[in-house]
Amino acid sequence: MIYFDNAATTPLDEIAIDALRKYGVENFYNPSALYKEALENSRVLNAARENVLKILHGNGDFVFTASGTEADNMAIYGAKKTKKSRIIVSAGEHSAMLNPATDLLNKGYDVKFAPLNSDGSLNFDEFKKLLNPDVSFVSVMHVNNETGAVNDLSRLVKTVKSVAPDALVHSDGVQALMKVRVNLINTGVDLYSVSAHKVHAPRGVGGLYIKKGVRINPLILGGGQEKGMRSATENLAGIVAFSEVLTKYDKNFARDAETRKELLSCLRNAFINEMPEHVVLSPENSPHILMVALKGVRGEVVLHALEEYGILIGVGSACSSKKGINKFQSLLNLDDEHKEGIIRISVSETNTLAECAFFIEKLKECTAKLTEYKRI
């Protein structure tokens, strides 16, 4: 099996499994209980929180959630805003941000969707036109989940605050974590979402960074865990697994990033030199994703054809592919020959150049055959 869909999810690292066992079976106690085992677990929980904050270089708090989606929802719904104020989210956001934003729009909020460049990054010039002093909330993802384009968060924060000093700036960092260097203090973002399962840690764990001094409302009320910001019995085993995986991958960051870069440029060069009919959409700075619009074939059909050879790729966000459309079809101004042919290859440090070569070979075979049978 060749797995090129690492932006969808990743397999668990062994150390995550050890942590799940340790805090799921051995020290399983509820961190909010009153005996000393529980108290010890609450210390472990807070140590994990400190560790995540340290790795993100954040100054503030980190609230564990059950997913990146929940963290995004918490950010946009929890941020204080009046109906008169303006909310800006980029048009390329994950559904976890786009759908809540659309919900607020339907509820009467002034919500604007900022246009993208053709590589999936934020179009800053267009974005600036939407800014005004009444802006209360801005969300632009750090690394685009479809193309891998990296947005400059420092520039984003400075641009927003120069016009609307009180606006909260949120960034969805789900595809950025452990893919690009994240330094939240330097960027100055107020809120930042991450998810564990994209980095070899378990599903069901995510979190929202909240900069010191920033106040938002909780989304989930109940027993008051996470200082009242996110009620529910803490998923200690998952949280510790997340924290330990982060420590491990943070240490190997430079080496792994280099590996991914090498794999991506191998793939990119193959498209540019050997299959120039297809359009590579991802920009050079994409850390782990290569999005390509294939000519004359449907992306999903290619996906299934490659499946027969044990190669797994995506056609864009797995979270929106259930709806059968890729939002980038319309966002990136593709011509008719290419707009149905979007595929997303996302690599991890465990992939190899040999796998890339095999993929290229099979992709050529599939597209040659499928082009012959395209819709008439």
3-state secondary structure of 23: helix
- Give the integer Cα–Cα distance in Å for 252 and 262: 16
> Which residues, in sequence order, are CB contacts of 321 under 8 Å at separation 6+?
300, 314, 315
Of 308, 346, 340, nearest in space to 324 by CA:
340
Q: Is 373 in the site for another protein (CB under 8 A)?
A: yes
Q: Is 313 in the site for another protein (CB under 8 A)?
A: no
List 210, 301, 331, 334, residue binding another protein (CB under 8 A): 301
State which H helix or E strand residue 186 sits in: helix 184-187
List 26, 308, 335, 336, residue binding another protein (CB under 8 A): 308
Q: Where would I find the H helices in 202-292? A: 236-251, 253-274
Q: Is 336 in the site for another protein (CB under 8 A)?
A: no
- Min separation Cβ 321 and another protein, Å: 10
- Min separation Cβ 355 and another protein, Å: 20
Which two tokens mark 168?
């909260």
CB closer to another protein, 79 vs 294: 294
Give CB contacts under 8 A, 24+ apart, made by 253-259. Answer: 253/178, 253/181, 255/349, 256/178, 256/349, 257/179, 257/180, 257/287, 259/349, 259/351
DSSP state of 303: H
Contact (Cβ atoms closer than 8 angstroms) between residue 139 and residue 97: yes
Of 97, 100, 171, 167, nearest in space to 136 by CA:
167
Residue 341: CB atoms within 10 Å: 25
List 302, 332, 334, 363, residue binding another protein (CB under 8 A): 302
Q: Is 158 in the site for another protein (CB under 8 A)?
A: no
> Which residues, in sequence order, are CB contacts of 146 under 8 Å at separation 6+?
92, 120, 289, 291, 316, 317, 326, 327, 328, 344
- Min separation Cβ 146 and another protein, Å: 19
Stretch that binds another protein, among 147-155, 165-173, 279-287, 302-310 (CB under 8 A): 302-310
- Min separation Cβ 367 and another protein, Å: 12
CB closer to another protein, 225 vs 317: 317
Of 49, 12, 317, 312, nearest in space to 174 by CA:
317
Residues annotated as catalytic (active site), given as ranges? 319
List 8, 239, 263, 303, residue binding another protein (CB under 8 A): 303
Interface mask (CB under 8 A) for another protein, residues 349-368, using x and -? -----------------x--
List 32, 300, 318, 319, residue binding another protein (CB under 8 A): 300
Site for another protein in 316-335 (CB under 8 A): 322-324
Interface mask (CB under 8 A) for another protein, residues 45-64, using x and -? --------------------
List 307, 357, 365, 368, residue binding another protein (CB under 8 A): 307
Site for another protein in 116-155 (CB under 8 A): none
- Min separation Cβ 376 and another protein, Å: 4
Contact (Cβ atoms closer than 8 angstroms) between residue 244 and residue 238: no
CB closer to another protein, 168 vs 303: 303
Size of the site for another protein (CB under 8 A): 17
- Give the integer Cα–Cα distance in Å for 104 and 85: 12
Stretch that binds another protein, among 99-107, 204-212, 300-308, 354-362 (CB under 8 A): 300-308
- Interface residue list for another protein (CB under 8 A): 300-305, 307-308, 322-324, 366, 370, 372-373, 375-376
